[in-house]
Structure 1
Amino acid sequence: MDGTDIGLWGVPLAILAGAIRVSTPFIFVSLGEMITERSGRINLGLEGTLVFGAMAAYGTAVMTGSPWLGVLAAMGAGAGFGLIHGFICKFPKVNDIAIGIAMMQFGLGLAFFLGKPFIQPAAPKLPSIPFGGWSSYPQIQAALNINVLFLIGILLAFALSWALRNTRIGLILRVAGDSSDAARAMGLNPDTIRLLATAVGGALAAVGGAYLSLFYPGSWNEGISSGQGLMAVALVIFARWNPLGCLLASLLFGGAGALGPALQSVGVTSGYYLFYAAPYVLTLIIMIATSSPTRSLTGAPAALSLTK
């Protein structure tokens, strides 16, 4: 049975499958960046955190035989990167953007250096749940073979949406993101809040990296990321700093990334490769559409600034 047995239904099916597979790293990285930015800090270093998390997860899984220990190792590494970033950024006259770029390069370089011994060994993969067992079509079965981290990401988005509105921690995060003076008036230290938020954001971004190396594509190499960490910043802006918006935007980006393979799966042999650029074109369109010198972005934390 080949990829054209279900005809043109193969295109939306392939896009659905791709949206699920490709969106999972976006979900975790965007939720992590959303938490960081809601505290009033931007972190452009998540691309390095994502790649280092992928390496840490894969190496740990190879050595221990447990993919879940790999995910925990990635979270620990990502939190460490976030703490370093947050600690440096608390000093006066330090630019968040410059530190983020430096941390990105540091994470990429360190991952490539430490990860060379793990390029060849095979690591156990994260489990998935076969929701497509009701169908006799292997394409549907493959499309609905959903990784556990995707489901966790959905639950996390809903949990964060509720927590930001209804918990004291959510209130503290929002106050720090809107006004440092208001946070201090409440007896809070905005630098500490942003430090912890950046650490949590880094941990979540690293989970996205663990998904890349331990499930899809399911290997470790130096080209494992395609800029998801950087695109997450645009995605958070598009989502208006809303966790559920991050989830929907991640699915949109995932579906855009699946256009090329979807067309190829139904026999389109020319031009389909142009659609591989869809996520990057979408990122560019979002950045242009949301840029304006005369109006502020709805939902943007007031303390969030590109410069200090």
Structure 2
Amino acid sequence: MSEDLGLWAVPIAMLGGAIRVSTPFLFVSLGECLTERSGRINLGLEGTLVFGAMAGYAIAFETGSPWVGVLAAAIAGAVFGLFHGWICRFRGVNDIAMGIALMLLGIGLAFFFGKSYVQPIAPDLPAIPFGWWSDIPQVQAALQINALFVVGVVLAFAMAWFFKNAALGLRIRVVGDSTEAARAIGVNPDGIRLWSTAAGGALAGIGGAYLSLYYPGSWNEGISSGQGLMAVALVIFARWNPVMCLAAALLFGAAGAIGPALQTVGVTSGYYLFFAAPYVLTLALLILTSTPGKAQEGAPGELSITK
């Protein structure tokens, strides 16, 4: 690539890598954004992501359809979300502690049920050739964009509109800001939070299906590398704004693509060090957004971090 495009190879490779790497971040962060807007935190989305990856891959292999696999991953994620939401309704249950337990449960179940699907090859999700206009193979490869990324972009803008204009979206925001105010206007906070958590889990499951059915496109026990937990930090950085979640996901994706992009122009020294870029970025963003006066800016009032 470097002989054909010179230094332009790096931004082109980072663009393609950002789109590929950002998709699971996007779906998990949108799911967590929805959940937290209702006033609940779900740290178990890492387990939901991993279990969704396993379930999607297994069902896609058994049925021969990657889209059926995506549906199965969404259903599995919704079940995890429902379980988390139902448990957290009880007095005295800490949603953060429950989320960590659910994360461990999801990862453990995925490893147990997924052992027989490590070797089989499931069908991949399709990609849309947005680079058809170029004659350069590298540009065409970078702009081979998976359909789920397009769905995620549309969903981010749709969710932003939903929170501002739809009656249900406004109810979710009221519940997230004040349980007492929600009850005063006749809204059931427990029901809103339950179904918001379920929907958030479904989106995280779809993010997992993307990992196993497109990029990297296989099922193994180390498929996530903490992306579900990083997406929770991403939501805080995005200030609970779905469109900002999209921008932040692309930023995280670009950070993850730095190493492969530099390799295309022959930079191999410290190659594996660049794989730490997303984790370093996560730590830096948490520090920057946790300074006094910023930590609670835009946060729903009922979240545990605001109390």
TM-score norm. by structure 2 comes to 0.98
**Residue by residue, what CA displacement relative to the aligned partner does 1:202-241 show, whole Å, maximum 9, x if unpaired?**
0000100000000000000001101110001110001000
Q: Which residue of 1 aligns with 2:202?
A: 203
Runs of 4+ in 1 over 3 A off after TM superposition: 292-296
Q: What number of residue pairs does the alignment pair up? A: 307
Q: Which residue of 2 aligns with 1:175?
A: 174
What is the CA–CA distance in structure 2 between the aligned matches of 1:4 and 1:219, rounded to whole Å? 31
Q: Which residue of 2 aligns with 1:153?
A: 152
Q: Which residue of 1 aligns with 2:105?
A: 106
Gaps spanning 5+ residues in structure 2: where? none
AA aligned opposite 1:86: G
- Tell me if structure 2 keeps the 8 A contact 1:95–1:307: no
What is the CA–CA distance in structure 1 between the aligned matches of 2:195 and 2:226, rounded to whole Å? 25
Q: Which residue of 2 aligns with 1:192?
A: 191
Q: Which residue of 1 aligns with 2:10?
A: 11
Q: Which residue of 2 aligns with 1:231?
A: 230
AA aligned opposite 1:209: G
AA aligned opposite 1:228: Q
Q: Does 1:44 align with 2:43?
A: yes
Q: Which residue of 1 aligns with 2:213?
A: 214
Deviation at 1:6, TM superposition (A): 1.1
- Tell me if structure 2 keeps the 8 A contact 1:38–1:241: yes
What is the CA–CA distance in structure 2 between the aligned matches of 1:36 and 1:129, rounded to whole Å? 30
Deviation at 1:51, TM superposition (A): 0.4
AA aligned opposite 1:239: A
What is the CA–CA distance in structure 2 between the aligned matches of 1:133 and 1:295, rounded to whole Å? 44
Q: Secondary structure at the match of 2:145?
A: strand
- Tell me if structure 2 keeps the 8 A contact 1:42–1:97: yes
TM-score norm. by structure 1 comes to 0.97
- Tell me if structure 2 keeps the 8 A contact 1:54–1:206: yes
Q: Secondary structure at the match of 2:4?
A: coil
Gaps spanning 5+ residues in structure 1: where? none
Q: Secondary structure at the match of 2:304?
A: coil
What is the CA–CA distance in structure 1 between the aligned matches of 2:67 and 2:209, rounded to whole Å? 9
CA RMSD of aligned residues (A): 1.2
Identity %: 71
AA aligned opposite 2:284: I
What is the CA–CA distance in structure 2 between the aligned matches of 1:112 and 1:296, rounded to whole Å? 36
CA separation of 1:100/1:264 partners in 2, compared to 1, >3 Å: closer, same or farther? same
**Residue by residue, what CA displacement relative to the aligned partner does 1:257-278 show, whole Å, maximum 9, x if unpaired?**
0001111111002123222111
Deviation at 1:292, TM superposition (A): 3.2
Q: Secondary structure at the match of 1:224?
A: coil
CA separation of 1:42/1:4 partners in 2, compared to 1, >3 Å: closer, same or farther? farther
**Residue by residue, what CA displacement relative to the aligned partner does 1:160-188 show, whole Å, maximum 9, x if unpaired?**
00010001011100000000001111111
